[in-house]
Amino acid sequence: MTFKPGIRAGVNLSHFSKGDGYTYYYDAYNPYQVNNNDGDFSSKTGFYVGFIGELHLTKYYTLQPEVLYTNQGSKVRTPSGNEFNLDVSYLSVGVVNKFTFNSFNIHLGPTVDVEVDSNFDTDNDLDLGFQLGAGYNFTKNLGLEARIKRGVIPIVDTSSNHDNVVYSLGLSYTFDLK
C-alpha cells in the first residue's frame, strides 16, 4: 500500500439538464421565461483545480479522495435570442475508485459539491453527483483524465428539476514521497 498526493486541473464543459415546463429568470431587471423543452440550455466552459490523494491498495485498484474548486453552470437563451451564462462554483469533495490496467484506468465514484459562488439564485447550495471516466498515464506521475459527472439534486427551479451535467478533461500529477 502506497500514498501519493497530487493535483488535478482542467477544463469543464457544463450545462443544466432540461426540465419540464418553464423556468423564470431575471436579466437586467426584466423577468422572462425560458421554455425548458426547446433546448434553451446549452454548454458553457469552466475549469476545475484541486488536490488528490492516491491510495494504491492493490496493483489494479486505487482509492482517490479529491478536493476541487470547480466552475460550472449553463448558457441560457432568452425568448428574444439573448444569451448569457448562469455561473455556479463549488467546492467539490469526491471519492474516486480507480481501476488501472497498464497505463489505462477507469474512474467511478460519488461527489458532494458545496456552492461557494453563483451569479443567480440557486435552489440548493449542495449537489450530490456521480462521476464516470477514463484516464491514461503518460508516466508514473502524469496522467490525462476525461470524466462525466451528473448531479442528482435540482439546482435551478426545483419544479423543473434542472441538474448539473459536467464533462471534464484535464491532467493529474502526483508527487513521490520518500
**Residue 105 sits in a domain of what CATH number?**
2.40.160.20
Number of structural domains in the chain: 1
CA angle centred on 100, ends 141 and 172, rounded to 5°? 30
Q: What is the pTM of this model?
A: 0.84
CA–CA separation, 9 vs 82, rounded Å? 31
Kindly tell me if the per-residue pLDDT of 49 is higher than 50: yes
> Where in the sequence is the domain holding 43, given as residue range(s)?
2-174
Average pLDDT over residues 122-140: 93
79, amino acid identity: P
**How far apart are the C-alpha atoms of 79 and 91, rounded to whole Å?**
33
Q: Is 36 helix (H, G, I), strand (E, B) or coil?
A: helix
For residue 120, the SS3 value is coil
**Binning pLDDT at 50, 70 and 90, where does residue 18 land?**
low
pLDDT score recorded for residue 20 = 52
- C-alpha cell of residue 31: 423577468
Given a cut of 50, is residue 131 above it in pLDDT? yes
